[in-house]
């Protein structure tokens, strides 16, 4: 198993550009989520999904969209990038409601100029 | 949500046991204590979790006090690769929000040669 994979590893955007951060898992996990990590802020939940076709907002959803058309993939879209979205983004998955362990991807480092 | 308090940093000599404390005095009866760690530039990694009883796995031991107001993560023989930020987390347990793990600032453990 590759676990949770994320692409790209690093990205530079200009303000106003859009892009999609990719996340995939091969563990057949129901739950997937996106976090961002900023210095001194810990990890903050952006969006999450409890299964294909079901998504919901986390703590800091503004400026981001998600979709979950398959169990494996959970892309995060930045609609119009802003410097405040400069961060490290982590995707995570876990097996289901009663499975406690989350598995994290290696992260995507995003710089918005 | 039960909050946790951890020291911001600790040092440990290589080969010695590392004991990382965590206070969670407002924990409720059905909330678990989780430990994750994050090595520099990597995604968080699950270590161990427990409810009431002490737990041990191949990575670490978790000691939870009888009143459950605090816990200690023990790395029995710390190595340089154990240098990381260690997060003590109390799992949210309120309806549909059980997908979420709230990461605080954690403890930076530095293992010295």
DSSP A43-88: EEEEEEEEETTEEEE-SS-TTEEE--SSSSB--EEESS--GGG-EE
* B-chain residue closest to A4, CA distance: B43
* B-chain residue closest to A95, CA distance: B99
DSSP conformational letter for B81: G
Query: Which one is predicted more confidently, B8 or A2?
Result: B8
Judge whether residue A41 has pLDDT over 70. Answer: yes
pLDDT band at residue B22 under the 50/70/90 scheme: very high
Which residues of B lie inside 8 Å of A (Cβ-Cβ)?
32, 34, 36, 41-46, 49, 87, 91, 96, 98-106
- pLDDT of the residue at B19: 98
Write out pLDDT tens, residues B52-104: 989 999 999 999 999 999 999 999 999 999 999 999 988 754 444 455 667 77
Q: Pseudo-torsion of CA B66, B35, A64, A89, nearest 10°?
A: 160
Q: How far is A16 from chain B (nearest CA, A)?
A: 27
Of the residues A27, A42, A50, the best mutation for testing chain B's interface (the one with the most B CB atoms within 10 Å of its CB) is A42
3-state secondary structure of B96: helix
Nearest to B101 among A40, A97, A102 (CB): A102
B8-17, B40-49, B81-90: least confidently modelled range: B40-49
Name every residue whose Cβ is closer than 8 Å to that of residue A109 and which is 6 or more positions away in sequence.
A9, A10, A11, A88, A89
Distance between CA atoms of A77 and A81, rounded to whole angstroms? 10
Question: Six-digit token pair at A63?
Answer: 């400026």
Question: Quick check: A20 and A76 in contact, CB under 8 A?
Answer: yes
Distance between CA atoms of A80 and A17, rounded to whole angstroms? 5
Query: Which one is predicted more confidently, B2 or A11?
Result: A11
* Beta-strand relationship, A19-25 and B55-56: unpaired
Mean pLDDT of A3-30: 96
3-state secondary structure of B52: coil
What Å distances lie between residue A91 and A77, A95, A103, A105, B18, CA to CA? 13, 14, 8, 5, 29
Write out pLDDT tens, residues A78-113: 999 999 999 999 999 987 665 567 899 999 999 999
Which residues of A lie inside 8 Å of B (Cβ-Cβ)?
4, 31, 33, 35, 40, 42-43, 45, 48, 50, 56, 58, 90, 92, 94, 97, 100-107
- pLDDT of the residue at A99: 57
């Amino acid at each position: 198993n590759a676990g949770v994979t994320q692409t790209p590893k690093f990205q530079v955007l200009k303000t106003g550009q859009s892009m999609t951060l990719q996340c995939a898992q091969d563990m057949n996990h129901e739950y997937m989520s996106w976090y961002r990590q900023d210095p001194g802020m810990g990890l903050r939940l952006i969006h999450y999904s409890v299964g294909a076709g079901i998504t919901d907002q986390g703590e800091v959803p503004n400026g981001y969209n998600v979709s979950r058309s398959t169990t494996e993939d959970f892309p995060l879209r930045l609609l119009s990038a802003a410097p405040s979205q400069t961060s490290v983004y982590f995707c995570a998955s876990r097996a289901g409601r009663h499975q406690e362990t989350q598995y994290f991807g290696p992260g995507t480092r995003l710089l918005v100029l | 949500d039960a909050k946790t308090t951890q020291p911001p940093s600790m040092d440990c000599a290589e080969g010695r046991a590392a004991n990382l404390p965590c206070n969670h005095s407002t924990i409720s009866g059905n909330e678990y204590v989780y430990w994750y760690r994050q090595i520099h530039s990597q995604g968080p990694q699950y270590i161990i979790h427990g409810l009431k009883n002490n737990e041990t796995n191949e990575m670490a031991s978790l000691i939870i006090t009888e009143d459950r107001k605090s816990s200690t993560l023990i790395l029995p023989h710390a190595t340089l690769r154990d240098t990381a930020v260690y997060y003590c987390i109390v799992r949210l347990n309120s309806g549909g929000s059980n997908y979420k793990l709230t990461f605080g600032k954690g403890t930076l453990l530095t293992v010295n040669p």
